[in-house]
Copies of this chain bind each other. A is one copy, B any other.
Amino acid sequence: MLLDLYELTMAESYFHYKRDTHATFDLFVRELPASRNFLLSCGLEDILSYLKNLRFTGQDLDYLRKQRQFSGGFLKYLSRFKFTGDIWALPEGEIFFANEPVIRVTAPIIEAQIIESFLLNTLNLQTMIASKASRVVLSSRGRSVFDFALRRTHGGDAGVKVSRSSYIAGFNGTSNVLAGKLYGIPVVGTMAHSFVMSFKRELDSFLAYSNTFPERTTLLVDTYDTKKGIENAIKIGLYLKQRKHRLQAIRLDSGNIVSLSKYARNRLDKAGLDYVKIFASGNLDEFKIEKLLSARAAVDSFGVGTNMGTSIDAPSLDVIYKISEVTDESGKFLPTMKLSQGKVTYPGRKQVFRQKDKTGKFLRDILGLEKEKVRGEPLLIKVVQRGKIIYHSPSLDKIRSYVKSTLSRLPAVFKSVNSEYKYPVVVSPQLKNLRSSLARQLAERQ
């Protein structure tokens, strides 16, 4: 029932006038956000599990009946509804660009329409987060990064999806316990200021925590006075060392992280605690991490929350779901497209072809027709055939490795935080021709 009412009203009308019509829809991003040079596809696993379980329950139908808008015949149709079409998609973790179909649905038009909102919603969230998170990973130059976003994600559902998407993009773990339980992502946790404040003295709080977790203690040092906090952490570090334990890290959450981290590194090293890591958090994102590391901040790991978990500079993608072909009376698929001002789409059943150089580096993508002869590796693969899921989603760690290896083939100019380079996506000759001839034809026909 997670759909927009118009999918059902259109379906009711299709049910009476177009029951046997089939159509192809493309799900794609019209334009990349200004500060993105690539996107990472994410969300397919959830979409496949949705398609598998898609049903209308008796309760759902009762609710719809009460809207006094739907015919008995159509509600009966819904009671038996399942998805029977074909779907082609980019695997999770694939790099893609504007106008390239991420998902291509060919199905009876009612079915293709009813799944619209779920597909858009799922792809939008997870792709947006994976894409943002991979920028954070790239900016951190091999240091560890952890997802701390739960408190500011848009609900609990978004919370676990942010953990999953950022892990795929290369994050090392999450603070979100439910995501750890659901997906087996490593979970991490330090302490809050409230912990420190619940003791009379900061040192007492540090002592209690490190006695509880002698091998897994990260001390938050900025509750009162960061430099004094660092000295207290050193006392604890030495106390643990005497007992053959190792203080894991200290955490800086405010103030000038560049100078404080250098200061802390120096103090820790002089005290013989060179193995103690420095963890930074507090409003971080790829831009801030880039600046910190350029200024040689002595930080080993980052906790990244709100800015990643809401994709704060681009909290949505321009993701749309557009019909590209539809059958005529005889059942033959005919290409179609939209002519609305500033919103023209590409017609026909399409494929994305990726061209690489001899070393495997990406050169360009060609957006072409599925059956067109185009050089390059076709990226869309068949994942659903006549309603049956024929694709087995890889493990999270496999997707994560795939992202790492595929990102290594994207030329560096597209990966720097402030890059203004635009990866070339070329429209094939046949698709170009089809588009212009169809535009004329459609305009004339109206």
Are B4's CB and A198's CB within 8 A? no
* Contact residues in B for A175 (Cβ distance below 8 Å): 4-6
**Complex Cα–Cα for A328 and B67 (A):** 59
Contact of A405 with B by CB under 8 A: no
Contact of A443 with B by CB under 8 A: yes
CB proximity to B under 8 Å, residues A303-346: 306, 310-312, 315-317, 319, 321-323, 326, 328, 336-343
**Complex Cα–Cα for A234 and B180 (A):** 57
Are B156's CB and A2's CB within 8 A? yes
Question: Closest approach, in angstroms, between the C-beta of A218 and any C-beta of chain B?
Answer: 9
* Contact residues in B for A228 (Cβ distance below 8 Å): 446
Are A198's CB and B323's CB within 8 A? yes
Assess A152 versus B193: contact at CB under 8 Å? Given A208-B17, A225-B446.
Answer: no
Question: Closest approach, in angstroms, between the C-beta of A381 and any C-beta of chain B?
Answer: 24
Contact of A223 with B by CB under 8 A: yes
Are B322's CB and A316's CB within 8 A? no
Are A109's CB and B156's CB within 8 A? no
Report A222-260 CB contacts with B as 1/0, cut-off 8 Å: 111110100000000000000000000000011100000
What range describes how many residues of A lie at the interface? 35 or more
Copies in the complex: 2
**Complex Cα–Cα for A148 and B445 (A):** 31
Contact of A189 with B by CB under 8 A: yes
Q: Chain B interface: which of A18-26, A86-94, A386-394? A: A18-26
Contacting A193 at CB < 8 Å: which of B155, B160, B176, B340? B340
Beyond A113-B195, A118-B156, A158-B158, 16 additional pairs, beta carbon < 8 A: A1-B178, A3-B176, A4-B150, A4-B189, A9-B189, A13-B208, A14-B195, A17-B211, A17-B212, A117-B151, A154-B155, A154-B315, A155-B155, A193-B323, A255-B342, A306-B316
Please list 19 pairs of residues, one from A and one from B, whose beta carbons are closer than 8 Å in the complex, sorted by A's number: A2-B160, A3-B176, A5-B187, A7-B189, A9-B189, A10-B192, A23-B194, A23-B198, A63-B181, A113-B195, A117-B151, A121-B159, A151-B321, A155-B161, A157-B158, A197-B336, A198-B336, A224-B339, A255-B340
